[in-house]
Amino acid sequence: MNFELSDEARMLQDGLRRFLRETYDAKTRNAAAEAPQGFPRAVWDGLAEMGVIGALFTEDQGGFGGTGFDIALVFEELGRAGAVDPMLDTGVLCGGLLAELGDTEAVEGVIAGGTQLALAHGEPGARYDSSTAETAAARDGDAWRLTGRKAVVVNAAAAEAFLVTARTDAGLGLFRVEAAALDFRPYPLNGGGTAAELALDAAPATLLAEEAGAILARAEARATLAICAEALGLMEAIRGLTADYLKTRKQFGQPIGKFQVLQHRMADMLIEIEQARSAVINLAGNLDGPDRDLHVAATKNLIGEVARLVVEESIQMHGGIGMTMEYDLGHLAKRLTMVDHRFGDALHHLERFIALRAA
Amino acid sequence: MNLDYTDAQKTFRDEVRAFLDAKLPERLTDAGRKGRALTKDDHEEWHAILNEKGWLAGSWPEEFGGAGWDAVQRHIFEDETTARGAPRIVPFGVAMLGPVLMKFGSKAQQDHYLPRILDGTDWWCQGYSEPGAGSDLASLRTEAVRDGDHYIVNGQKTWTTLGQYANWIFCLVRTSKEGKPQKGISFLLIDMNSPGVEVRPIVLLDGTAEVNEVWFSDVRVPVENLVGEENKGWTYAKYLLTHERTNIAGVGFANAGLANLKRIARAERAGGRPLIENPHFAARVARVEIDLMAMATTNLRVVSAAAAGNAPGAESSMLKIKGTVIRQEINHLTRSAIGPYAMPFQSEAVEGDNAGAIGPDYGARASGQYFNNRKLSIYGGSNEVQRTIIAKSMLEL
């Protein structure tokens, strides 16, 4: 058994952490929130140049990593920096799907950083049930046309194209729809980034797969690992900020960190974050194994519960300053809170876990 | 023991209900339900409606233009209005400053300021907290130095709620550095239009700016604006805080929030059935409802004792902790109930009518309210400070 990173992994981690520390701060982030695409383009280009996107793919796919541990490593660092780039949407979700489909040219574009994509899968009212889609695909000669609605399509503002799920005779199909073919209005998200509601009215589409259920499930499992690892990084950053604050903030004549009640709560938070780390490791190590779905459910549930504790306790221990957007904690806490609203929340995965264990 | 209200209390409740049926504008309750932030005009409209009835200042004695209600009547009024989603009465003038002026202010101050609170001429805000002096209020540093018949005020206040609407601020200021820090504090009334007063908004996690920083640079304040005696402000401040703690449990807000949560959980579907029927979700809703039912009775026990003349002590602290934790749990469950549509950042929905809401309109403010109400356990003496009060005064630890 070995929980140590390989030398290569450690180099990637060190480089990524240094790059983000040097390039990414509240100013960059706030400027990005105002920019039309919703993330700092220069940081994205830098990540691509470092080869960070390539770490999400295997050598066969044109990358140099692609294991669960590679994904976890990258996303923990992005989380630690509170980064708002679309690594999850363009990289793990869309890039992962294209790689499964064997579209090496498209994957190359993703790895090089020049392509921005968004997965349009969820629908209004579908909540976290990813197995259903009411959007319908109809043949139109050699081409296809899609009709339906897609909800909270993340990274919509920057995407040049959407990968869209829709019903075909064979099952749940996957299509490509050019962003230019659609009329939509992006909106900002809590915690950064953009999304949009898509109204598809016989929108022209290119077929990628007539039955994509299995590869979608796999992509979503990888994305769930990514967002859990990001949550872990966010927790680590929040823990650091909070510990520093307890040492500097004085009340009643002493640093508030001298109060035992806060020490104990900090200690409890630390224990839970270690649990979160172990859960992420469990999922990373089982991402390609037979118990993948059980680990997805267990990890996402645990991350959701610990995230809530970390967010609420850190804001409480900071007092009023933790409620403001001016201070870094606000961004990190909001981003961590929103983790529970993608790919199923703690309750959703508790039920999945119970069902899988009973099966 | 008898859990029933008296006939007189029931009659009063009917009277409140009839008044709300006739006078509470639907526009205002709708805003509350959808989480739209109320404007200054909204607040003033509701205050004027209440004042016309003589109910704006329920707890004030009739001689000062109040309704002279006892604690149970006040509770009934709050219970009914919050359950309807009526705006809360902005507390700074009515619930905080008013009682202080009635007890410690000069006759001239009472005659001048109290009617202006009721008729809406003045909008007061509170200048207590400072950077570095939050729950440890006695460490405040804003300084007032006597110069002839004026005080010269310098310093900074923070977390000034709705200060952007106010034309007056009541402040705790340091007038002496001798002895214990509590001994050198005075209670001063400051015209916000005085030269040297600057208000800067603080943007909160939900994108709104309901709180502010207020800066004072060489602000000249006439000495007749001092309430009571110089350096005795701590006494008045503590008296004010006991008044601030009426309705601290927020039972009405929790009931309204719970009803809203259930409405949403009936509308949302999860796994092909209404979310409210999901056993795990339903269990959490039930758990908070059970807690709320018990807390409402704890609250009534305290209210009842207060009506009989027993001032609540550390019971207020218990109610603050339990009440805020319950409301925050309801906020959490409401945000969770919205699902992926909790993600859009919809600060604009707060200002407008939610017409452009992304996702269901009842969910547009769920995340915003969750983040905003993290404040409940922080302000008014954090829950940690309340626990210390309980440990000291009830357990004598």
CB contact under 8 A, A341 and B342: yes
Min Cα–Cα distance to chain A from B269, Å: 7
More confident residue, B40 or B354: B40
pLDDT of residue A35: 83
Given this model, what pLDDT does residue B311 score? 73
* Pairwise CA distance, residues B360 & A189, whole Å: 16
Q: B375 touching A, CB under 8 A?
A: yes
Q: At what angle do helices A260-285 and A292-318 cross, to 10 degrees?
A: 160
Distance CA B112, CA B97 (A): 13
Residue numbers in B near A129 (CB within 8 A):
270-271
Write down the pLDDT at residue B355: 59
**Residues 311..340 of B with a Cβ closer than 8 Å to A: which?**
328, 332, 335-336, 339-340
Whole-number pLDDT of residue B71: 86
pLDDT digits (tens, 9 = 90+) for B140-168: 999 999 999 999 999 999 999 999 999 99
Q: Using 50, 70 and 90 to split pLDDT, how confident is the model at B290?
A: very high
Euclidean distance between CA atoms A214 and B80, whole angstroms: 54
Alpha carbon distance B43, B45 (integer Å): 5
Taking only residues 254 to 273 of chain B, the set having a beta carbon closer than 8 angstroms to any beta carbon of chain A reads 268-271
User: Residue B259, class by beta-carbon neighbours within 10 Å (0-12 exposed, 13-18 middle, 19+ buried)?
Assistant: middle
Chain B residues in contact with A124 (beta carbon < 8 A): 359
Residues in chain B closer than 8 A to A351 (CB atoms): 271, 278, 280
Task: Give contacts of B268 with chain A, Cβ < 8 Å.
Answer: 127
Contacts of B380 in chain A (CB under 8 A): none
Q: B344 vs A315: CB contact, 8 Å cut-off?
A: no
Strand partners, A200: A148
Q: Which two three-digit tokens encode residue A207?
A: 């077929």
Is the pLDDT assigned to residue B245 strictly greater than 70? no
The pLDDT mean for chain B works out to 92
Beta partners for residue B147, in sequence order: B150
Q: What is the pLDDT of residue B157?
A: 97
CA dist A268 and A259 (Å) reads 15
Which residues in chain A are contacts of B371 at CB distance < 8 A? 323, 334, 337
User: Distance between CA atoms of A240 and A270, rounded to whole angstroms?
Assistant: 10
Question: How far B192 CA sits from the closest chain A CA (Å)?
Answer: 23
| CA distance linking residue B343 with residue B329, whole number of Å | 19
% of chain B beyond a pLDDT of 70: 96
pLDDT digits (tens, 9 = 90+) for B80-139: 998 888 999 999 999 999 999 999 999 999 999 999 999 999 999 999 999 888 778 889
> Measured between alpha carbons, how far is B195 from B238 in angstroms, rounded to an integer?
29
Place A131 in a pLDDT band, splitting at 50, 70 and 90. Answer: confident
Q: Please, which residues bridge with residue B222 across strands? A: B150
Q: Which of A213, A219, A210 is nearest to A100 (CA)?
A: A219
Record: contact A190-B345, CB cut-off 8 A: yes
Cα radius of gyration rounded to whole Å, chain A: 21
10 Å CB burial of residue B268 (0-12, 13-18, 19+) is buried
Q: Are residues A341 and B344, on separate chains, in Cβ contact within 8 Å? A: no
Say yes or no: B130 contacts chain A, CB-CB below 8 A.
no
Instruction: Determine whether the interchain pair A190/B378 forms a contact, defined as Cβ–Cβ distance below 8 Å.
Output: no
How far off is chain B from A211, nearest CA to CA, in Å? 22
Q: Are A32 and A38 in contact (CB under 8 A)?
A: yes
Among residues 148-207 of chain B, which lie with CB inside 8 Å of chain A?
Answer: 158-159, 202-205, 207
Test B136 with A252 for CB contact under 8 angstroms: yes
Q: Do B203 and A348 touch (CB under 8 A)?
A: no
Interface test with A, best of B345, B350, B354 (most A CBs within 10 A): B345
Q: What angle do CA A293, A297, A298 make, to 5 degrees?
A: 115
User: Nearest Cβ partner of B203 from A152, A261, A326?
Assistant: A326
pLDDT tens track for B253-272:
999 999 999 999 999 999 88
Residue A326 is classified by DSSP as S
| Residue B377 confidence class, pLDDT cut points 50, 70, 90 | very high
Q: Angle at CA B204, nearest 5°, toward B202 and B209? A: 50
* Mean pLDDT calculated for residue range A206-222: 96
Q: Which of B205, B343, B377 sits opposite A341 (nearest CB)?
A: B343
pLDDT at A2: 82
- Is the model's pLDDT at B352 over the cut of 60? no
Residue pair B204/A324 in contact (Cβ under 8 Å)? The answer is yes
Task: Locate B177 and state its tokens.
Answer: 């550095």
Over 80: is that where the pLDDT of B313 sits? Answer: no
Helices (H), chain B: 7-23, 26-34, 40-53, 71-84, 91, 98-104, 107-118, 233-244, 251-267, 279-307, 315-338, 348-351, 366-372, 383-393
Greater confidence, B30 or B119? B119
Distance (Å, whole) CA A242 – CA A313: 9
Average pLDDT in chain A? 95
Check A128 against B375: CB less than 8 A apart: no
The pair phi, psi for residue A317, each rounded to 5°, is: -70, -25
Q: What angle do CA B73, B97, B151 make, to 5 degrees?
A: 170
| Partners of residue A185 in chain B, C-beta under 8 Å | none
Q: What is the pLDDT of residues B187-196, one digit of tens each?
A: 999 999 999 9
Q: Please give the distance of CA B3 from its chain centroid, rounded to a whole number.
A: 28
In B, which residues are within 8 Å of A199 by CB distance?
Answer: none
**A68-72, B98-102, B278-282, B392-396: which range is least confident on average?**
B392-396
Percent above pLDDT 90 for chain B: 72
Closest CB to A316: pick one of B370, B377, B387.
Answer: B377
Interatomic CA distance for residues B140 and B173, integer angstroms? 7
In this prediction, residue B32 has a pLDDT band, given cuts at 50, 70 and 90, of low
**A244 in Cβ contact with A257 (< 8 Å):** no
| Three-state secondary structure call for residue B201 | strand
Taking the CA of residue A241 and the nearest CA in chain B, the distance in Å comes to 17
Distance CA A243, CA A266 (A): 8
The pLDDT value given to residue A4:
86
Query: Residue B351: which pLDDT band, with cuts at 50, 70 and 90?
Result: low
Lowest-confidence pick of A140-154, B102-116, B339-353, B367-381? B339-353
pLDDT tens per residue, range A25-42: 888 888 887 888 999 999
User: What's the rounded Cα separation, in Å, for the pair A176 and A162?
Assistant: 6
Q: Which has the closest alpha carbon to A298: A274, A269, A278?
A: A278
Q: How many residue contacts between A and B have a Cβ separation below 8 Å? A: 122
Q: Is the pLDDT of residue B302 over 80?
A: yes
CB contact under 8 A, A337 and B371: yes
Instruction: Give the mean pLDDT of B356-368.
Output: 90
Contacts of A319 in chain B (CB under 8 A): 134-135, 378, 382
Contact across the interface for B344 and A333, Cβ inside 8 Å:
no
Place of tokens 């905080």: B96
Question: Can you tell me whether residue B127 is helix, strand or coil?
Answer: strand
CA distance A266 to A309: 11
Task: Give the residue from chain A lying closest to B201, CA to CA.
Answer: A324
CA distance linking residue A336 with residue A334, whole number of Å: 5
- Residue of chain A nearest B158, judged by CA positions: A320
Find out whether A219 and A91 touch, Cβ atoms under 8 Å.
no
**pLDDT score at B243:** 65
Show Cβ contacts of residue B225 under 8 Å, excluding neighbours closer than 6 positions. Answer: B151, B188, B189, B190
pLDDT of residue B240: 84
Instruction: Annotate A154-204 with DSSP letters as a single string.
Output: ETTTT-SEEEEEEEETTEEEEEEEEGGG-----EEBTTS-EEEEEEEEEEE
ipTM attached to this prediction: 0.92
Residue B136 is predicted with a pLDDT of 85
CA A106, CA A94: separation in Å to the nearest integer? 10
Q: Which of A313-317, B50-54, B307-311, B383-387 has the lowest mean pLDDT?
A: B307-311
Q: Find the range with the poorest average confidence among A228-232, B30-34, B91-95.
A: B30-34
The β-bridge relationship of strands B143-147 and B124-127 is unpaired
Question: How many angstroms separate the CA atoms of A312 and B328, rounded?
Answer: 10
Contact (CB<8Å) A320/B379: yes
Distance between CA atoms of residues B366 and B340, nearest Å: 11
Asked if A192 and A29 touch (Cβ cutoff 8 Å), the reply is yes
Beta bridge pairs of residue B199:
B214
Residue B98: partners with Cβ closer than 8 Å, 6 or more residues away: B57, B60, B64, B114, B117
**Known catalytic membership, residue B198:** no
Whether B349 contacts B36, CB under 8 Å:
yes
- For residue range A258-299, list pLDDT tens digits in order: 999 999 999 999 999 999 999 999 999 999 999 999 999 999
